Amino acid sequence: MIAPLIRLPDWRPRLIAWISKIHNRPILPGQHDCCLFGAGAIEAQTGVDLAAGWRGRYSTYAGGRRILRKAGYDDHIALIAAHLDEAHVSTAAEGDIAILPTEDGDAVGLVQGVAVYVLGPSGRLGLAPMCPVQRLFKVR
């Protein structure tokens, strides 16, 4: 892990404002996709944008993977794992980052109570149950 990311004192209103801003955006690789969704949620809570160097620099998922690999990360999950502590799913709390399996690979979600915010195919936020969550990263 690089350096611990710490939540700002006003992280809850910042996170709510960020969710309100992005909840209806269409998916667009490099601008609004599941990796950038997770990075945006982390930034809203900590003020640190893990994806600042990659936003707008790719327009396909393959391009995004290439950029991450050049930076030393196997994938978008490795980027998150390098900056947040992994914990057991049973410790999930509001604002933590959840990793869920999908047909297209692992997706990044945001824990919200007993459910997880995820991007649907259109980019609109949806809720998924916690039960398929395979990995959890704590935003402290």
Residue 71 maps to a domain: yes
Closest CA to 80 of 50, 116, 41, 118: 50
Residue 70 maps to a domain: yes
For residue 1, pLDDT over 60 is answered with: no
Question: Contact, 64 vs 54, CB < 8 A?
Answer: yes
Residue 3 maps to a domain: no
Q: What is the CATH number of the domain that holds 90?
A: 3.90.1720
The pair of three-digit structure tokens given for residue 56, joined into one six-digit string: 């707008």
Residue 6 maps to a domain: no
Residue 79 maps to a domain: yes
How sure is the predictor about 97, in pLDDT bands with cuts at 50, 70 and 90? very high
Specify the number of domains making up the chain: 1
Closest CA to 134 of 75, 76, 90: 90
Mean pLDDT of the chain: 94
What share of residues in the chain are helix, strand, coil (percent, to 5)? 30, 25, 45
- Phi, psi dihedral angles at 60 (to 5 degrees): -135, 160
Residue 103 maps to a domain: yes
Question: Contact, 96 vs 133, CB < 8 A?
Answer: no
114: enclosing H helix or E strand: none
Residue in the structure block whose two tokens are 């990360």 = 73
Q: Which domain range does residue 95 map to? A: 11-138
What is the reported pTM?
0.94
The pair of three-digit structure tokens given for residue 45, joined into one six-digit string: 């809570």
Query: pLDDT by residue (tens digit) across 10-57?
Result: 999 999 999 999 999 999 999 999 999 999 999 999 999 999 999 999
Residue 4 maps to a domain: no
Residue 120 maps to a domain: yes
